[in-house]
Amino acid sequence: MPADPAAVAVARQVLDRIGVTLADLESDAGVVVSLPTVAEYLPRVIAAAGPGARRTYGTYWERMAAAWGDRPLDAVAASDVEAMKQEMIATARPRRNSRNGRHAGEHVIAAARAFYSRAVADDLIGASASPAHRVAKPRRLPSTRRALTSCELEEINAVVRTSGNDVILDALLLRLHTESARRRGGALALRLIDLDRTNGLVRLTEKGTVRWQPISLDLAEHLYEHAHARGALMSTDRLLRYRNGQPISSRRYDHLWKRIGEHLPWAAAQGMSTHWLRHTTLTWVERHFGYGVARAYAGHTDSPGSSTTTYIKADLHAVADALSAMTGQPHPLGTMLRTADVWPTTSRH
């Protein structure tokens, strides 16, 4: 809303009468307070960010520092952020799950908003002064992921168990993600202390949440044997490891799905990845046990969605029942075993 010219004139008269200038209002004891530059402020933003934010936004923050590093925080315009968004969309590297650079453009805006939100929180600028929040994010397209069919899952399992330089590790990975519907980050973070072999549970740390997830006792034993055979001894040692004893990284997943795509062209064409296994498992659980159990199986919180989700909850025992029905193996925390709908494609390590 534009200022009333008459009110502005009155304000100027008052300031003139008391001997105060506009510059004085923006200073502290007559000394003008200058804002830090983008490059000067970035280390504070990085230090305050969590590991997920640093991993997702780090590259874009570096781009911001390279492009606007010598500018004060209030000298970056919305058009500068928009220009960087368009540049990142145009130069995005094609990937299996590429969406013509839309994800890169979205991440630029999200990274810039995270940067300026920190500046607002530190009282360096006002909320309305953030240039990033005046640029619209690209609309997120519907996901192309879907649940795999039984035949597709069987073919993927066959490739994993018969190719590659470490079929034991890869088969274990596929089974772990199929049973637990976990994300890659949750699997990579697993430690010996996160495995409860007695109760068939693994502790998942992913997306800022921590929860215990049922797995079959058979898988729990294979995970334990795998970790100890490859050098995991301390409780904080990572669970999934290469043959040389080093913990695996996300690169193992990249190589795994690249190999699957080389053997199964349809998997490569659709850009399939580990997250498709999560879709597959959760779809199966929802079809057989309902929305509430699928929600608990996925580890979703009650914050999004309608208020009805507050009442649609399932406990650990219901998740264990779903796992038992899927694998055909009884679970210590389960209350039933449905054998009629056993999932025939669950991989055996």
Q: Which residue has the tokens 């504070």?
A: 44
Q: Is residue 5 located within the same domain as residue 76? A: no
pLDDT single digits (tens) 34-58:
889 999 999 999 999 988 789 889 9
Residue 121 has pLDDT above 60, yes or no: yes
Structure-model confidence comparison of residues 232 and 142, the more confident one:
232
193: nearest Cα among 248, 245, 242, 232:
232
Q: Is residue 128 located within the same domain as residue 185? A: no
Structure-model confidence comparison of residues 115 and 16, the more confident one:
115
What is the arithmetic mean of pLDDT over 213-238? 96
Most confident of 141-150, 238-247, 307-316: 238-247
Q: Is residue 11 located within the same domain as residue 50? A: no
Give the bridge partners for 195, in sequence order. 202
In a domain, residue 78? The reply is yes
Residue 315's CB: how many other CB atoms inside 10 A?
11
- What CATH number did the domain enclosing 164 receive? 1.10.443.10
In whole angstroms, give the CA distance from residue 163 to residue 145: 25
Q: Is residue 12 located within the same domain as residue 42? A: no
Number of domains in the chain: 3
pLDDT band at 62; cut points 50, 70, 90: very high
In whole angstroms, give the CA distance from residue 132 to residue 38: 13
- What CATH number did the domain enclosing 90 receive? 1.10.150
3-state secondary structure 54-84: HHHHHHHHHHHHHHHCCCEHHHCCHHHHHHH
In a domain, residue 77? The reply is yes
Question: Which pair of structure tokens corresponds to residue 249?
Answer: 């990284």
In a domain, residue 342? The reply is no
In a domain, residue 202? The reply is yes
Residue 94, pLDDT score: 59
pLDDT band at 66; cut points 50, 70, 90: very high
In whole angstroms, give the CA distance from residue 105 to residue 169: 35
- Residue-by-residue DSSP string for 5-49: HHHHHHHHHHHHHHT--HHHHTEETTEEPPPPBHHHHHHHHHHHS
Residue 254's CB: how many other CB atoms inside 10 A?
14
Q: Is residue 178 located within the same domain as residue 120? A: no
Q: Is residue 306 located within the same domain as residue 208? A: yes
Burial of 331 (0-12, 13-18, 19+ CB in 10 A): buried
Question: Which pair of structure tokens corresponds to residue 106?
Answer: 């979205």
pLDDT band at 307; cut points 50, 70, 90: low
Residue 335, pLDDT score: 85
What is the extent of the structural domain holding 230? 150-327
Amino acid present at 39: A
In a domain, residue 347? The reply is no
Contacts of 263 (CB under 8 A, 6+ apart): 159, 163
Q: Is residue 63 located within the same domain as residue 199? A: no
> Mean pLDDT lowest for which of 72-76, 174-178, 262-266, 334-338?
334-338
